[in-house]
Amino acid sequence: MFKRLDDAGTTMTLTVDGTPIRARSGDTVAVAMLAAGIDHCRTTPVNDVPRAPYCLMGVCFDCLVTIDGVGSRQGCLVPVREGMKVETQLGKREAGR
């Protein structure tokens, strides 16, 4: 869906559902997932259909993911960190994570 203009900038690695992806400092989690070609980041709690980032400015809440064990984080507002563990969020969130 997207490609990077150039590969400059320091890179780091995070995992999405256990699979390592490369990201660049300055990326947000949502953008890193888009750049890695991951086509959806969650399924909805109502009809369980897939969703991907829509607005990238913190208002649509379609980029909700589980980050380091904490669910329902807005991927477009969270900067990536080396070793970050991201999980796609499936349906309703589980209390306690």
Under the rule (CB under 8 A), what is the footprint of other proteins? Answer: 1-6, 8-9, 24, 26-28, 31, 34-35, 39-40, 44-47, 49-62, 64, 70-72, 77, 79, 91-97
- CB 58, min distance to other proteins, A: 6
Helix (H/G/I), strand (E/B), else coil: 76: coil
Helix (H/G/I), strand (E/B), else coil: 55: coil
> Residue 74: which residues within 8 A CB-CB, separation 6 or more?
30, 58, 61, 63, 64
**Closest CB to other proteins among 45 and 83?**
45
Contact present, 76 and 27 (Cβ < 8 Å):
no
- CB 92, min distance to other proteins, A: 5
**Closest CB to other proteins among 55 and 83?**
55
